[in-house]
Amino acid sequence: MMIIGVDYHPSFQTIAFLMEETGECGEQELKHSDGQAEKFYRDLKQRGISVRVGMEATGYSRWFERLLAELGFEVWMGDPAEIKAKRVKKQKFDREDARLLLRLMRENNFPQIWVPGPENRDLRQLLWHRHRLVQMRTRIMNQLQALAMNEGYRWKKKLFSEQGRVQLEKLALAPWASRRRQELLELLDRMNPTIAELTAAVEREARKRPEAVRLMTHPGVGPLTALAYVLIIGTPTRFQRGKQIGTYVGMIPSEDSSAHKQRLGHISKQGNSLLRFLLVEAAQAAARIHPDWRRRYIHLAMRRHKSIAKVAMGRRLTIRLYWMWRNGCEYSKSVEFGSYAGQLGTGHGGK
């Protein structure tokens, strides 16, 4: 068995390795562009050496992970924050980082994290692609609103109705403003069918998963939020209690307390930004259509601020969905579960 600690960079990687049987060890830098890294690992496979690779979770490493999976090598993915906390020396450079990863694996102290499968990651690309296109469409629509308002018309949502579209096209604009209006409308016409197609694909994928269908029974939760929650959380057994979900998504306040003085800041935002955005949007939708959620939201907004209330309701929804998933029940029965999904005054402990 060869144990390899990999300090990964987009263009190269620095490794520290150890052969357990012979005690042979060494360090090496492998470049990616010229195939040096791929050749190194394929040579190990041809020699019949079992390999365990440890690396920090990072971006731009999908091809490397696919290569190791193809070769049948064991891959340990580590939590960067915990690995950083285990660094003793106040020295950080590539070789030292690779040595640290190797040492943690040898000491059986490597902080492994859950890694989604290839299908999961591909479906996340569907969610991100739709999300980015919707953001682009919103910017286009805002620009068209600005053109209309500069001419003294403030039609808001009516601008994008059939009648509003006709009125917008009839506006007498200067040459370059007219060209801008025309090209923005053309972009909008091309993006709408694409977004509708992606939305239909998201709905189909959500319907295939019983856990996503179950989450969609909650007020305000649609196929997009349910599918994103299932893909990004992975499995509820990863978490022992609901509070850990709020921490994982990054919806808890940062804290810098000391000497009996509590100092709370903004939310940590350490989790998946897409899921956090969707949960807050879904919580606002729930507050619009469900009396109990609307009452709780108004109460929080009066005490604090609307932005704080929105995030607080998003965190409440995050925990509620966790208990629905973990207990395998739809929304109508989820209110009977523990303190984080229950109602005021229940025997399970109220908030």
What HEC string does the chain produce? CEEEEEEECCCEEEEEEEECCCCCEEEEEEECCCCHHHHHHHHHHHCCCCEEEEEECCCCCHHHHHHHHHHCCEEEEECHHHHHHCCCCCCCCHHHHHHHHHHHHHCCCCCECCCCCHHHHHHHHHHHHHHHHHHHHHHHHHHHHHHHHHCCCCCHHHHHCHHHHHHHHHCCCCHHHHHHHHHHHHHHHHHHHHHHHHHHHHHHHHHCCHHHHHHCCCCCCCHHHHHHHHHHHCCHHHCCCHHHHHHHHCCCEEECCECCECCEEEECCCCCHHHHHHHHHHHHHHHHHCHHHHHHHHHHHHHCCHHHHHHHHHHHHHHHHHHHHHHCCCHHHHCCCCCCCCCCCCCCCCC
**For the residues 318-325, what does the mean pLDDT come to?**
92
Residue 333 has a pLDDT of: 52
In the predicted structure, residue 348 carries a pLDDT above the cut 80: no
β-bridge pairing 12-19 and 2-8: antiparallel
Residue 343 has a pLDDT of: 40
Using CA atoms, how far apart are residues 242 and 340, in angstroms rounded to an integer? 7
Residue 286 has a pLDDT of: 93
In the predicted structure, residue 108 carries a pLDDT above the cut 60: yes
Map 5-70 to HEC letters: EEEECCCEEEEEEEECCCCCEEEEEEECCCCHHHHHHHHHHHCCCCEEEEEECCCCCHHHHHHHHH
In the numeric block, the tokens 């915990």 are attached to: 82
Residue 335 has a pLDDT of: 53
Using CA atoms, how far apart are residues 94 and 29, in angstroms rounded to an integer? 9
Percent of the chain residues topping a pLDDT of 90:
72
Residue 270 has a pLDDT of: 84
In the predicted structure, residue 283 carries a pLDDT above the cut 70: yes
Using CA atoms, how far apart are residues 159 and 210, in angstroms rounded to an integer? 39
Which residues lie closer than 8 Å to 160 by C-beta, 6 or more apart?
141, 144
Residue 13 has a pLDDT of: 95
Q: Considering only CA atoms, which of 49, 57, 60 is closest in space to residue 20?
A: 49
C-beta of residue 241 within 8 angstroms of C-beta of residue 341: no
In the predicted structure, residue 217 carries a pLDDT above the cut 90: yes
To the nearest 10 degrees (0 to 180), the angle between helices 62-71 and 36-46 is 10
C-beta of residue 133 within 8 angstroms of C-beta of residue 192: no
Banded pLDDT at 190 (limits 50, 70, 90): very high
**For the residues 119-134, what does the mean pLDDT come to?**
95
In the predicted structure, residue 341 carries a pLDDT above the cut 70: no
Banded pLDDT at 336 (limits 50, 70, 90): very low
In the predicted structure, residue 91 carries a pLDDT above the cut 60: yes
**For the residues 102-112, what does the mean pLDDT come to?**
93
Q: Considering only CA atoms, which of 328, 350, 329, 330 is closest in space to residue 340?
A: 350
Percent of the chain residues topping a pLDDT of 70:
95
Q: How buried is residue 297: exposed, middle or buried, by Cβ count under 10 Å (0-12/13-18/19+)?
A: buried
Residue 254 has a pLDDT of: 83
Residue 126: both structure tokens together = 């569907």
| Overall size of the chain counted in residues | 351
